[in-house]
Amino acid sequence: MNLGSSGELNAVSQSFDRSEGLTREVHFEGTEQFITALFAQIQGQAKTASMSHKGPLWKLDARLDIGQLNSANEVTLDVRMQVNAAKKSIFEPPGPAGITDDDLRYVQQLLEDKNPPLPGHTVSNEALSLYELTLRGVSERTVYQPIVAVTRTAGYNYRFPNRYADVGSNLSQAVMIQDAGIQGVFQFDFPVFTEALAPGFTYGWLKHMPFYDQAVGQRTVEYLQYEFGAWSDFLYPLVG
């Protein structure tokens, strides 16, 4: 251990006693400054706590109720890539491969007028296939959209920053990473789509409303979610 650093948690054990219930024994090692400051922080919460030292190496031994190991300001972070199987209209971009905006408008007009394609009118095979699907009652398709889910669990004294800015907006990847506070902590690739979209649609990360929950040991859990997809610029303002 580098005694020039503040200190470290050396060992943790857990035990059960009929009179005291489930407790956790912790043992810290570090500099005098680190150990004495930690002792002052947990002394009033611990069942027992004692300090000792041998030369420059200081130690702290304490017995805590389960949940008290996390300091009042400690935050743990969990980042996951999930997938949402979303139902979208067969007319919503990005449409079937090879179909054009003119094809989509033509098929929608046919459906509104309730008329078959006009004889002699040039219609792409893609438009005919889409038209035939609608006649068979197909109106939706399944689109698999990745979701970055960020969970933070904090001690009882930690104050979460305001996370409500840009909820319902389409964030660029760089803005999403900064907004979620996950710079440099993920070990996976984010999806990248380069195919052209219809005007008025942009690939990006739709920010969901954050929500919060209470956990054991007076801890608070924050949940953030960002869903990747092709979003309407009119409905979901682009940020970044």
Which is nearest to 216 in space by CA: 70, 64, 48?
A: 70
71 vs 148: CA distance, rounded Å:
27
Which pLDDT does position 1 carry in this prediction? 36
pTM tops 0.85: no
Tokens of 63: 């017995």
Which pLDDT does position 211 carry in this prediction? 94
Which pLDDT does position 208 carry in this prediction? 97
Tokens of 126: 């893609």
Which pLDDT does position 166 carry in this prediction? 97
Which pLDDT does position 57 carry in this prediction? 87
Domains of the chain, by residue range, sit at 7-65, 75-86+143-239, 91-138
Give the Å distances, CA to CA, from 71 to 46, 64, 153, 160, 192. 12, 11, 11, 15, 39
Tokens of 64: 């805590």
**CB-based contacts of 175: which residues, under 8 Å, 6+ apart?**
166, 205, 239, 240
Give the Å distances, CA to CA, from 156 to 68, 75, 86, 160, 221. 10, 10, 37, 11, 10
Contact 68, 24 (CB under 8 A): yes
149 vs 81: CA distance, rounded Å:
6
Which pLDDT does position 236 carry in this prediction? 96
Give the mean pLDDT per block of 10 residues along the chain (240 residues). Answer: 49 52 74 85 81 88 64 74 86 74 80 70 78 86 90 84 95 94 80 78 95 81 94 94
**Angle at Cα 139 formed by Cα 134 and Cα 144, nearest 5°?**
135
